[in-house]
Structure 1
Amino acid sequence: MLAQNYLMVQEYLIYGFGWLSFGLVHSLLARENVKTRLKPAFGAYYRLAYNIFAVLHIGAVYMVGLFIFEGVIDFMRPSWLWWCQGVAHGLGWIIMFWALREYDLGRLGGLSQIREHFKGIMAHDEEPLHFKGFHKWVRHPLYSAGFLILWGRINNEFDVMTAICGSLYLWIGSRFEERHLIRLYGDHYATYKSRVPAFIPFKGQVDFKEPKI
């Protein structure tokens, strides 16, 4: 029994460290001083390379988790809980795809920077601030959707660990992102932050004007 518990702790630690490696590397590559050093090598392809590496990294972590937790038994749940989780999971995907409509997906993915480069335009990664749509309710609608997706699909120990690690990554990532936004937009974003919740729309809809910059 003791050996089994020790093995279980090892599995949790290995998978947790995998998520930690993703969070650290992802955050490191997003830092301005690192971008400044790497961008000369990648040029307009930096954002695309950054996204591809992030997908490969998190995919590798997830595959390691699947291997470690192979054969894990699903939880026994009452039918009402199963339905509630299904609704939360589905709602998360609906919010995710709907909120993505408010972003410049080409710039988010890195393709717009490449097109601008070939047109002789100075490529940049930053999007303007968003205050419409879901951003009237929460500051990070994509992260809110992520929480619903993660916690709505819990079936076993692997899913629980994934939800915990993924949620920690989203929460910590949002803190770093907001520091960057305050440095970029100053008091305007700070005021928006003070009025609109981060993930849960407990204040209702808040109208906020576009910054005059």
Structure 2
Amino acid sequence: MDQVDPSQMPPDEATVNEPARTGTALVHAEYHLFQITDPQGPVADDLDTSRTGLVSADGGAIEVATGIHTGDVRVTVESHTRRPAPARGWEEIAEISCHSLSGELLVTPFMDDPADLPSLASQGPGSYRLRVHARGRDRAVDHTTVDEVVESYLIQSWPAAHQDASLLRATDAYGAQVRDQPADDTIVIDREDSLDIRVGRERDILRRAQRGEYS
């Protein structure tokens, strides 16, 4: 995937706007991921993680790929009314579009309740763009225990029409490894399998196991 140089964005697409609604919390990652979900159902069509190496969509949820297999990562969210400038000092930056039915886009551990963070759907139901920044994914790749939090993420959101996923910055080794993996087969999203329903999550785990993702 071609990278997008943030410095080449048109002025109206890289402008610092109003103060964001923000929050920071530790989020538990499992199986190399945490999610962004809507309580009422799917938020995006499936997009393989090999596209950006950082953010993807599976089973109706947005997924953020972590270097650590299992453990806490530090996540900060910023909800904007207009497209903000990408933040500086991050190793990987990627964007993905999504749609919120309920007006709630929540950072969520894979098999747990949403984290104590503000919703990323600041303007209620509708279409949003998510920009995910990552740092520290190479420090504890595949580890299941760490003595301290080594990975940090910043997720910016703003209302925007759907666009293809894009990779803005790619410098860590873990992202390159993920992008080199073959793309998975397309999976049809069943609304009844929405990830807020336990049966949907159980089916998602089974599907992932069949695809060999749990290693």
Under a length normalisation based on structure 1, what TM-score does the superposition of the two structures give?
Answer: 0.21
The structure carrying a bigger helix percent of its residues is 1
Where relative contact order (Cα < 8 A, 6+ residues apart) is larger, the structure is 2
Higher Rg of the two aligned structures: 1
